[in-house]
Amino acid sequence: MKKLVIATRRSRLALWQAEHVKERLEKLHAGLAVELLALSTRGDELLDQRLDKVGGKGLFVKELESALADGRAELAVHSMKDLPAELPPGFVIAAILEREDPRDAFVSSGFSSLKEMPEKAVIGTSSLRRAAQILERYPKLEARLLRGNVETRLAKLDRGEYDAVILAVAGLVRLGLANRIRSRLDPAESLPSPGQGALGIECLAARTDVAALLAPLADAGATACVRAERAVSRVFGGSCTIPLGAFAELKGPQLRLRALVAAADGRRVARADVVGDATQPEALGELAAEDLRRQGALEILK
């Protein structure tokens, strides 16, 4: 192959991610030209509504997958946390790249941490997972909807619409905005979203030629961790419509996987913490999900 086209969202972060993959591929395969096809998605356009109310994570990927299906692009680059746990038939994740810091970031002009914030202070987030974990520990704070790309969210914070916002560390680092981070939240305080911090490359399952070009980009450790995390999400529906966190860490030949399911108001939380064979990440994810079910996760979600 002499040319590949990457389908990507138009946000500055999505374009950075696509450019990163483009550079890696062109360096890896001499003579290969890689182009970007920037697309607007419904998830980027519906900025005044909660994603869980209008269709979930799939709103960020449908247009990109359409470009793969009709031949306008050969691959799509995603933040793995934005991908539904179940892909449509005929699509595969051909490579998961090495992972950036997967933690959540606390960003504020007036406070250095959540525990410093006074009663009724307003935290901005679009994530039910983040809001539930904040409200569990700090029930006197107010979690308020915050949508838009990273720059839009920071601008709303700087205008005083929020006292603090919670964003992914990875996105801020990739955009050169790490100086905005006041603190990085320990997973014990804010368990990340499945796949957070990892980039994934999607292509058609039938395009084994494309998959072969992408294979050298895959990171074995990140792949095992993300597969375990996504397995938990898959059991409970695999979208952003539920407050669910999952975070795996490679410990030699084993994986440690922490997962949680919470009520939206943070009043009920089920947690799992399991260890298993790193070569069987999906089995470990299913083990964690079963532990959550025993603790009443399905009742919490109802």
Catalytic residues, by residue number, are: 82
Give one DSSP letter per residue of 49-78, joined into a string: S-HHHHTGGGGGTHHHHHHHHTTS-SEEEE
What would the two tokens of residue 152 be?
Answer: 């839009």
For 282, residues 6+ apart whose C-beta sits below 8 A from its C-beta are 227, 228, 231
CA distances from 286 to 101, 209, 235, 270, 294 (A): 24, 32, 7, 15, 12
Q: H or E stretch including 172?
A: helix 169-174
Q: Which residues pair with 183 in a beta bridge?
A: 106
For 262, residues 6+ apart whose C-beta sits below 8 A from its C-beta are 129, 132, 133, 136, 243, 244, 245, 268, 269, 270, 300
